[in-house]
Chains A and B, each alone.
Chain A
């Protein structure tokens, strides 16, 4: 069941899988790494990172794709849209592909990662940039800055 009080709702392209978050994103980002370029078949991937406890798949049964490793990438079983990622190093958050969400402010990347592999012509306007990923201990400050900007 879709909850009308959810903060953001999303769906794959064909609509077989739907999901929602009851919390605001803690950070939004674009990742320019070569892996994301391949997975997106484009220049970068877009993510809105949500607390895992507030994220619910409301319809459909996503399947695993990507490298089938400890970081789990979930896809629609029918149209094979890349939906969300459960990172290996934390179970507290879910990285949702923000282009699937009904909240446009979720897709504007506050942070961009792996700029050392960025396609040269791409300009996302992200407020903060990292050549790789930020260290885990840097996230609280980044999240605080994001929260301040998005309030």
Chain B
């Protein structure tokens, strides 16, 4: 299925050029809580060269621990659309709350749950990690996507 999504105001929309199946994961770290205005961020890893984005975006970049991250947002409504990171070149970390199919996507992993808000209940049986998982463990969880 083609992946489609966009911002709150409609100025920016994106779609994939090929069929993509995505695994959504939730990050409960304090940075993600602040940037999401929620208690976690929802992410989906997608090859950037498979996506076409139309509309005005602004970029917010920062460096932490030797890793350069860029956030891309709608210039008009400031919806966060996707991130890129020097730790994973070529990958777009789509902010999954902007996906048109978000209501059908259940996170297949929750990371940084040591900062999870105590009032939030997570579905049983979903893999969780107190911080970031190892790349191998995370790949195994994401590859379990049907």
Contacts and interface: CB of A to CB of B under 8 A. Distances in A.
A108 interface: yes
Q: Max chain A CB contacts within 10 Å: which of B9, B60, B73, B78?
A: B78
B68 interface: no
B38 A99 contact: yes
Given A119-B102, A124-B120, A40 B76 contact: no
Given A42-B38, A119-B103, A125 B77 contact: no
A14 interface: yes
B128 interface: no
Contact of B34 (A41, A43, A99): A99
A72 interface: no
A115 B117 CA distance: 19
A80 B103 contact: no
Interface stretch (A18-26, A50-58, A60-68, A135-143): A60-68
Contacts of A46: 37-39
23 contacts: A12-B34, A38-B6, A38-B7, A40-B38, A41-B98, A42-B38, A42-B40, A43-B42, A44-B38, A45-B38, A65-B76, A65-B78, A66-B8, A66-B78, A67-B77, A79-B35, A80-B58, A80-B73, A99-B36, A99-B38, A109-B119, A124-B119, A124-B120
Interface of B: 6-9, 31, 33-42, 58, 60, 62, 71, 73, 76-81, 95-98, 102-103, 106-107, 117-123
